[in-house]
A and B are shown apart, each in its own frame.
Chain A
Amino acid sequence: MAIYFSLLCYSMVWWLICYSAMYLSATPLRALSWARTGFIGVFFIPIFAYQFIINFLGVKYSNKILLLGFYTLSIPAIILSRTKYIYNDIVLHSWGYYPTAGRYYLVFLVMYGLLLSYVVWKVVEAAGKDALSDRMRQQLRYLCLAFGIGTLGIVDYLAKYPAIKVYPFGYVCAFLFISLIAYTIVRHQLMDIEVIIKKTLVFAGLLASVLAILVLPTLLFQEYLFRDASVGGRILGLTMGGIIIIFTMRKIEDFLINVTDKYLFQKRYDYKELLKTFTAEVLTVLHLDNLVNLTVDKLVDIVRISSCAVLLRDDEKEQFGIVASHGIKDKEITLFKLHDIVKFLEHTHGYVLMKDLKEKKIYIPPSVQEVIENLNAELVIPMLLHEKMIGMLSLGKKKSDEDYTQDDLDILLPLARTLAIAISNAELFEELGKAQAEAAQREKMAVIGTLSAGINHEICNPLGIARGQCEAFLLNVKDGLYKDKSQQELIQKAEEIMAKVIKETDRATAITKKLSSFAKPAKGEAELVDINKEMDEVFGLVGYELKLEKIEFDKQVSSSLSRILVDRKQFQEVLFNLMRNAGQAIGEKGKITVSAKEEKGRVIIDVQDTGSGIPQEKIKELFNPFFTTKEPGKGTGLGLFIVRQVVEKNGGKIYLKRTKVGEGTTFTIEFPAHLQKKEEKRSYETTDSRDRR
């Protein structure tokens, strides 16, 4: 893109220089010659403008044949430019010489018009799109304006027809066009040439200051103070200027850098913003992945660096690896704990700043050099937690090409320490989550153990019945009880028995399947779950236990209830625990009612028991990790603490809806209803309500 822009600028400069020469020409012949030379620049302006915009907008489809046509046209155009076919003649107007259009001039006028209006159209079209970043939108706004004004330059073409009497102010348009684009580049980062612009500005400023400092004293000495001793005065002036330059050069440079920073670029970066962002947005993140990625993003954004990476220690593998990065070469870098750079940072608790090392000519081992290069790093800071290095923060060069200053280090070093704390927190939080999942699984297996009586019954009973049916049949045959029956009747009897046997073995299989499916650890993947079905499944597991205790079970679920998006197994675990808790709260004789309804896009499931209720003073502790009302050693179940963790992890919530000592307790879980199903459901509801009326 920068290439097309520079070509565009070159062609404009070509045109303007030639036309300036034309205006300054003494004879019409020379003026015409300049005008004709200038035409070559004029010819290329719209083509380069077109390519620049196509490139900037990233338009995939660009008409290659059209472009090729234009470029091919440049050959006859250059040849013809020397002839009268393009510029016929030159006329002396009140404001100077100006050429008149030749026979084929119209071709180029049309081309200019077409290409530039196409460009303007493309820019306007792009500006209208929604999916644009704010910066891009700003850039486009200025480009619209620039090309709009640029298109006005067509007046120059028209002015070449004697019939059209207009002053060719195209050069003003060109000047405005270039100025606007330059402004967009600087102010809205149209092109990533900040550093060049900045250095150029600083350099130009320095040059001007040096010249001024040299010239002013010299002039002063020569013209006013030592008018007679002309050479001596000049030398004295130059010497004075030289001395002033030596003492002020550095200060002037700093001043110029500051001024360009202040007015053209964001001032280095805002320390306050860095601190605010990190304390408010980054360091509080508990999810490790998000935390490190946010760290990298924000550092790149605020400190304005070209690359950044967070490396974390892997205690098992005894190495450091990249967990988040931006703009680095090799994302797979791992550093063993005995790597030179690791050892250095670990022992010194200092930092590696490339500029420092180079300035002090400190030997950098090739291994360190390689890592620094791969990380694109300029500064590497250790992340220390209780004097242990848990990771490294690598920062690349600043986009402004400035060096890291002591000020930077004063803020980045403590930031890295704070980051270490945040990362360690996030890691602990993650481990806690894992530990909870493991605890849930362990508890579940323990509960399955205590379920054995019920499960045993559920499996052995059908098998026993199958066996009994067969035994009865065989004994009946053996004892001659079926003697009077015909062959046909006997076969029919056998068929009946076999059908019963199959039914019973199926029953046994179903329960073992349920059990093994329940025992498997949760996958941690959400799927659409039918609440009614899961309730039946869970009741299949707890049902017999409840029956043993003479507990009635009642389920009230509307068949049109929305499904919910949760981990199926975890949802089963939650139901299982609530139902089992309810059963245990009842002890003997009572009723558990499980009901599910939908309200305001949420599925609300109540598990109600007629048990002992929870005493007021225990309510607060309900969701504590170690809370239980059960005797030690009894199958305690997951505990409401873990139940709540699981519910929340699945996007739901759980709370105690009602409890009264001696009357019972109701726990409620809520999950967002899955929307698609909900819409279908709505139609059911309307038919329902109509029916009711």
Chain B
Amino acid sequence: MKPRIVAIDDEVEFVDILKNYFAPRGYEIDVAIRGAKGIEIVREKKPDVVLMDLKMPGIDGDEVLNLLKSMEPSPKVIFISAYDDGGKTKARLLRMGAYAYFDKPIASLRELEEAINKAANGSRTGA
């Protein structure tokens, strides 16, 4: 079974790409363009992987990561962001338990897909 994904990003166009790519491949993907709504969906759908932007209005990456980590079962979190402060934030988030960090724009959807699958499988094997 393909992993369940929830994508949270305020950029409609980006979310649209994710849907266009993952839905036809049989992934169950839900999207949210607001942080709070996204959390709600995560609680409800209990996805394997959460894809999220780091900088969104009303959302703090660190807080959300901690929140998601505290969930049971906790989804794997992959950050996709254009935020660039020389890798500092990326390193911190990875240290805090984020599964992966992708720079926006995404260089390859295939790579993202692979990462999602690895994350989901990892979580399953881990579980």
Contact = CB atoms under 8 A, between A and B. Distances in A.
Our verdict on whether A and B bind, yes or no, reads yes
Interface of A: 453, 456-457, 460-465, 467-469, 471-473, 475-476, 479, 481-482, 500, 504, 547-548, 550, 552
B76 to A, nearest CB: 21
A461 B20 contact: no
Interface residues of B, number: 23
B17 A548 contact: no
A464 B20 contact: no
Contact of B82 (A461, A473, A479): A461
A479 B25 contact: yes
Interface string B78-121: 00001111000000000000000000111011100000000000
A465 B14 contact: yes
Contacts of B106: 464, 468
B21 A475 contact: yes
B58 interface: yes
Given A460-B82, A461-B105, A476-B20, A468 B57 contact: no
Nearest to A475: B109
Nearest to B85: A453
Interface class of chain A by DSSP: helix
B57 A547 contact: yes
B72 interface: no
A460 B104 contact: yes
Given A481-B25, A504-B13, A456 B84 contact: yes
B62 interface: no
A552 B85 CA distance: 22
Task: Return the 5 tightest CB-CB contacts between A and B, nearest first.
Answer: A464-B105, A468-B17, A472-B21, A481-B24, A457-B82
20 contacts: A457-B82, A460-B82, A462-B13, A465-B11, A465-B14, A467-B105, A468-B21, A468-B105, A468-B106, A468-B109, A469-B16, A471-B109, A472-B17, A472-B21, A473-B20, A475-B21, A475-B109, A479-B25, A548-B83, A550-B60
B43 interface: no
B55 interface: yes
B59 to A, nearest CB: 8
Nearest to A482: B24
Please indicate which of the listed interface residues A465, A469, A473 has the most CB atoms of chain B within 10 Å of its own CB.
A465
Contacts of A473: 20
B113 to A, nearest CB: 9
Nearest to B22: A472
Contacts of A482: 24
Contacts of B82: 456-457, 460-461
B5 to A, nearest CB: 14
A260 B13 CA distance: 93
A552 B84 contact: no
Contact of B14 (A468, A479, A552): A468
Interface string B10-46: 0101101100110011000000000000000000000
Contacts of A548: 55, 83
Contacts of A457: 82, 104
Nearest to B104: A464
Q: Which of B11, B13, B55, B85 has its CB near the most chain A CB atoms (within 10 A)?
A: B13
Contacts of B85: 453
A547 B53 CA distance: 13
B104 A552 contact: no
- Label chain B's interface by main secondary structure: loop
Contacts of B14: 461, 464-465, 468
B35 to A, nearest CB: 11
Nearest to A552: B57
B3 to A, nearest CB: 17
B73 to A, nearest CB: 29
Contacts of B16: 469, 500
A342 to B, nearest CB: 61
Given A457-B104, A461-B11, A550-B57, 4 more contacts: A453-B85, A460-B105, A471-B109, A500-B16
Given A476-B20, A550-B58, A471 B108 contact: yes
A468 B7 CA distance: 15
A476 B24 CA distance: 8
Contacts of B11: 461, 465
A504 B25 CA distance: 25
Nearest to A469: B17
Contacts of A504: 13
A550 B105 CA distance: 21
A475 B110 contact: yes
A471 B105 CA distance: 12
A475 B20 CA distance: 10
A468 B111 CA distance: 12
Given A463-B105, A504-B13, A548-B55, A469 B84 contact: no
**Residue of A461, A464, A476, A547 contacting most chain B CB atoms (<10 Å):** A464
A476 B84 contact: no
A461 B104 contact: yes
A456 B84 CA distance: 10
A321 to B, nearest CB: 55
A479 B110 CA distance: 11
Nearest to B113: A475
Contacts of A476: 20-21, 24-25
A464 B80 CA distance: 12
B13 A500 contact: yes
A479 B16 CA distance: 19
B57 to A, nearest CB: 6
Nearest to B10: A547
A590 to B, nearest CB: 12
Given A457-B82, A473-B20, A500-B13, A547 B55 contact: yes
B57 A472 contact: no
Nearest to B58: A550
A456 B83 CA distance: 10
Nearest to B13: A465
Nearest to B81: A457
Contacts of B24: 476, 481-482
A457 B84 CA distance: 9
Contacts of B104: 457, 460-461, 464
Contacts of A461: 11, 14, 82, 104-105
Contacts of B105: 460-461, 463-465, 467-468
Contacts of A471: 21, 108-109
Contacts of A456: 82, 84
B78 to A, nearest CB: 15
A539 to B, nearest CB: 15
Nearest to A485: B24
Contacts of B21: 468, 471-472, 475-476
A76 to B, nearest CB: 101
